[in-house]
A and B are shown apart, each in its own frame.
Chain A
């Protein structure tokens, strides 16, 4: 088990180097002098621009810049962004917000997705199942930003149930609206996966056996059907956590959430290589760890899967 985890963690290194190199290069290749762009029409004295450029090593070739970035990273020094703020402090501010948003979205999609999926799967072909299937198709088809604007307008502006934007007061309650929007699309997928899986297990021999033994319906559903049906769902949820962290850009923009998405968007606009790469690096880590957790969950869900052999 330990060896398995170690091996997985070692895999992070090439993934990490590859991603950061690629992202760094893409930001580097963006045209325009990012320092000059900070100032707009009215340029400061050339000495200011040049000093800033050398401060951020923007006058060096790409490999030198990337090398310095890596060197700094291994000494746990993320440097400053173009506004002079330490990047590490800014990551410490934005990641908890987005993590809250992503976890809330994940809980919403998991709880409702699995619940709806199980009910639909157990009553395959009935009116509830059909309604849920059609509705989930609609949810999948509607782009996130449309959902976001509609929710904001209806629940935020017209009904006044929630504040239309989050802003500085990002707590669990305020994040509920964006988290719902963020979780809705994945909710539909979780629902459909669960439904398919459950309805397949319904016809399995062990379920018939369990029922024949006289086990109560809830018992059959909870321990026999659900546990077996959850493997594909858990896989999806694990991969989705990483996606939710990174994919919050649109939602965070609409609801003005001071998180990763907004920061990433601004940093990209400003061609702030170090900030963009720092954020993406953490996202890569989240992704890898989430997938590791999924693999470990397999063993619990299905004891036939063993890792230390």
Chain B
């Protein structure tokens, strides 16, 4: 009895002491050092979360599923760390007119279930992905191929209360422009010339699928069989809400040879616990840092962090339907807004250098990026100029100052700080009322953007699907494009994009795309804000890690100590 009593009392004292000491504690110890002899059999653990769909390459369009799919499958091409495409399963990819393509597929390659990969494998997989009945999220990646319209056709019905619903109604099973000439040759005819078409062949939508996948996509998506540097560790290696375990595929021989024994993705609903796990070497690598760690991650993980620019940028979109931003006065006002944003300072102070001020509508890591495009001077901070332009606009047509200028954003993703800074810039330099229009969820903002009912500006971000200038312009700003929610339209811009796509060489194409950007700088349908750099940190078990051009960690390149 006596003994228990004392030990209990001690326990309480201990708890109280911990509560006091806990707050002042710093990060873990870091002796780093040691011989960096890689262990090629060690399994790496990595931050992730539950994928949102079964693991089918053409269906996976979110990051957590995407990173797994990219390791399980290998396409015709792959991207090197700088985003330069290299041939993987493709022996050669040729065209003379940017419209008719001939692809030679390497022979003797197999899926891990032994099924051989031929030209037909690709043709079947692509037709499957494009078919609207299969509801593949990335189906639209095949829209350039002749015959896509028929395979992906839908019917739209309008119900009595005015709601429209779209249902799949393909009129053909296969795309007319896609053919397997023999076991090793694919011919592709595009609906129109597209110079950068082959750049996208490393994207996951274009990965080959074994016949089992086409027969039962849902079951296959649970236990996918691929041809990439890794394979699923076993049947049921995806433990829902917990983890996915991949092991090295010993038969793989491609440009992405794995340097470790496997990758286990551990699921976290919040980056905080993962950061703690990394500090105690309970997790090996993360690409998602809690927002409060942005200022401390370098000191928490000295010699165990990297921050590399990636192909992701942010813009502030200005709706054309807002009367304040229409006509000649509107144009001056859009310029004034752009000059009134201190991008340099916001990047440094709020983003701790993990973002860099935008220089154009595409980030610098993209091939063909050019600095100093005509009109890009609007991206510099110039309070006097902003004030002056605003005054000029006032002279033409007075600004309706009855309501503050709102910047719509979801507030759950750490956006509030920079929006407040931007709004303050507008207030101080233009003398107008500006504020954040907060939404609990991203989906709300998206709904309102789609229906064009946001009163003011909204933030948007774009992550490149494949390393091409066009990918940062076409889907976002072309007339009627899928992500052009504010419905910006300029025929001259569309024409330049089209000419760029039809160009014979990449240089020529990029020239057109840069000319198209100059039109955006003239019209300013949105203000380019900044380009992202992706910070990652790793544990003491890992020698080094690196992100690729799109910000994804190159898991296969990680060597373990």
B254-275 interface (Cβ within 8 A of A): 266-270, 272-274
The contact of B241 among A112, A128, A150, A258, by CB within 8 Å, is: A258
**Chain A residues within 8 Å of B168, by CB:** 47, 51
Given contacts A50-B167, A128-B5, A154-B25, contact A45 B282 (CB under 8 A): no
Q: Which residues of A contact B62 (CB under 8 A)?
A: 38-40
Task: Please choose the segment from A20-28, A63-71, A248-256 that sits at the chain B interface, where 4 or more of its residues have CB less than 8 A away.
Answer: A248-256
- Known A-B contacts A48-B137, A128-B9; the reply to A32 vs B443 at CB < 8 A is yes
8 Å CB contact of A258 from B139, B242, B442: B242
A-side contacts of B28, CB under 8 Å = 157-158
Interface pair A164/B12, CB less than 8 Å apart: no
A8-16, A262-270, A279-287 - the one binding chain B:
A262-270
B10-23 vs A: 1/0 string, CB under 8 Å? 00100110110111
- CB of A149, distance to nearest CB on chain B (Å): 8
- Contact string against A for B residues 266-288, beta-carbon threshold 8 Å, 1 for contact and 0 otherwise: 11111011101101101000000
Q: Are A265 and B51 in contact (CB under 8 A)?
A: no
Given contacts A45-B140, A153-B25, contact A165 B165 (CB under 8 A): no
* Docked-complex contact A83 and B50, CB < 8 angstroms: yes
Enumerate chain A residues within 8 angstroms of B242, measured Cβ to Cβ. Answer: 167-168, 258
A197 within 8 A of B: no
Partner of A152, one of B61, B154, B163, B276: B276
Taking CB atoms, residues of chain B closer than 8 Å to A38 are: 52, 62
Given A85-B240, A253-B270, A262-B241, the answer on whether A47 and B154 have CB atoms closer than 8 Å is yes
Interface residues of B in 464-499 (CB under 8 A from A): 465, 475, 482-483
Q: Name the CB-closest residue of B to A123.
A: B5
The residues of A that contact B135 with a CB separation of less than 8 Å are 47-48, 51-52
Interface string of B432-448 (1 = CB under 8 A from A): 00000001111110110
Q: Which of A131-139, A199-207, A232-240 contacts B (4 or more CB under 8 A)?
A: A131-139
Name the distance in Å between B170's Cβ and chain A's nearest Cβ: 10
Q: Is A308 an interface residue (CB 8 A)?
A: no
Bound form: Cα–Cα A83–B53 in Å: 5
B282 touches A165 (CB 8 A): yes
Q: A219 near B: Cβ within 8 Å?
A: no
Q: Is the CB of A37 within 8 A of B441?
A: yes
Interface presence of B532 (CB below 8 A): no
Contact (Cβ within 8 A) A94 B241:
yes
Using CB atoms, name the residue of chain A closest to B63: A40
Cα–Cα, bound, A108→B62 (Å): 41
B403 contacts the other chain (CB 8 A): no
In contact, A254 and B16 (Cβ under 8 angstroms): no
Given known pairs A45-B139, A47-B154, A156-B276, the reply for A59 and B163 (CB within 8 Å) is: yes
Residues from 104 to 142 in A contacting B, C-beta threshold 8 Å: 112, 115-116, 119, 128, 131-132, 135, 138-139, 142
Interface range for A: 35 or more
Among B5, B23, B52, B152, the residue within 8 A (CB) of A119 is B5
Q: How far is the CB of A56 from chain B (nearest CB, A)?
A: 13
A165 touches B443 (CB 8 A): no
Tell yes or no: A93 within 8 A of B by CB: yes
Asked if A57 CB lies within 8 Å of chain B CBs, one says: no
Cβ–Cβ < 8 Å partners of A263 in chain B? 241
Cβ of B243 under 8 Å from chain A = yes
Q: A32-B443, A47-B132, A164-B282 are in contact. Are A150 and B18 (CB under 8 A)?
A: yes
Residues of B within 8 A of A168 (CB): 239, 242-243, 266-267
Q: B16 is contacted by which of A42, A49, A138 (Cβ under 8 Å)?
A: A138
B402 contacts partner chain A, Cβ-Cβ < 8 Å: no
Say yes or no: A165 contacts B167, CB within 8 Å.
no
Instruction: Give the interface SS of chain A, mostly helix, strand, loop or mixed.
Output: helix
Q: Which residues B47-88 have CB closer than 8 A to chain A?
A: 50-54, 61-62
**For the complex, is B462 an interface residue (Cβ under 8 Å from A)?**
yes
Whether the Cβ atoms of A46 and B274 lie closer than 8 Å is no
Q: Is B461's beta carbon under 8 Å from chain A?
A: yes
B218 close to chain A: CB less than 8 A: yes
Instruction: Indicate if the CB atoms of B166 and A46 lie closer than 8 Å.
Output: yes
- A297 contacts partner chain B, Cβ-Cβ < 8 Å: no
CB-based contact B154/A45 at 8 Å: yes
- Assuming A38-B52, A47-B167, is B441 touching A119 (CB within 8 A)? no
A45 close to B218 (CB less than 8 A) = no
Residue A209 at the chain B interface, CB threshold 8 Å: no
The A-contacting residues of B in range 122-140, CB under 8 angstroms, are 132, 135-140
Query: Does chain A have a CB within 8 A of B234?
Result: no
**Do the beta carbons of B483 and A83 come within 8 Å of each other?**
no
Contact B52 A42 (CB under 8 A): no
Question: How far, in Å, is B480 (CB) from chain A's closest CB?
Answer: 13
Across-interface contacts of A115 in B (CB, < 8 A)? 4, 8
Q: Give Cα distance in the complex from A112 to B11, angstroms.
A: 11
- A223 near B: Cβ within 8 Å? no
A18 in the interface, Cβ–Cβ < 8 Å?
Answer: no
Are the C-beta atoms of A36 and B16 separated by less than 8 Å?
Answer: no
Smallest CB separation, A109 vs chain B (Å): 14
A44 in the interface (beta carbon within 8 A): yes
| A90 CB within 8 Å of chain B | yes
The 3 closest A-B pairs by CB, nearest first: A37-B443, A32-B443, A150-B22
Starting from the known contacts A32-B442, A50-B166, A90-B241, 17 additional A-B residue pairs (CB-CB under 8 Å) come to: A32-B446, A41-B462, A42-B475, A43-B483, A44-B140, A51-B135, A119-B5, A135-B15, A138-B16, A154-B25, A157-B280, A163-B277, A164-B279, A256-B273, A258-B242, A266-B50, A269-B441
Q: Which residues of B are in contact with A by a Cβ distance under 8 Å?
A: 4-5, 8-9, 12, 15-16, 18-19, 21-23, 25, 28, 50-54, 61-62, 132, 135-140, 152, 154, 163, 165-168, 218, 239-243, 266-270, 272-274, 276-277, 279-280, 282, 439-444, 446-447, 450, 460-463, 465, 475, 482-483
Interfacial residues, chain A to chain B (CB-CB below 8 A): 30-34, 36-54, 59, 82-85, 89-90, 93-94, 112, 115-116, 119, 128, 131-132, 135, 138-139, 142, 147, 149-154, 156-158, 160, 163-165, 167-168, 253-256, 258, 262-263, 265-266, 269, 271
Please name 25 pairs of A and B residues whose Cβ atoms are closer than 8 Å in the assembled complex, sorted by A: A34-B443, A39-B61, A41-B461, A42-B61, A42-B465, A42-B482, A42-B483, A43-B482, A44-B140, A46-B166, A48-B136, A48-B139, A138-B19, A150-B19, A152-B273, A158-B28, A164-B277, A164-B279, A165-B268, A165-B273, A165-B276, A168-B242, A256-B274, A266-B50, A269-B441
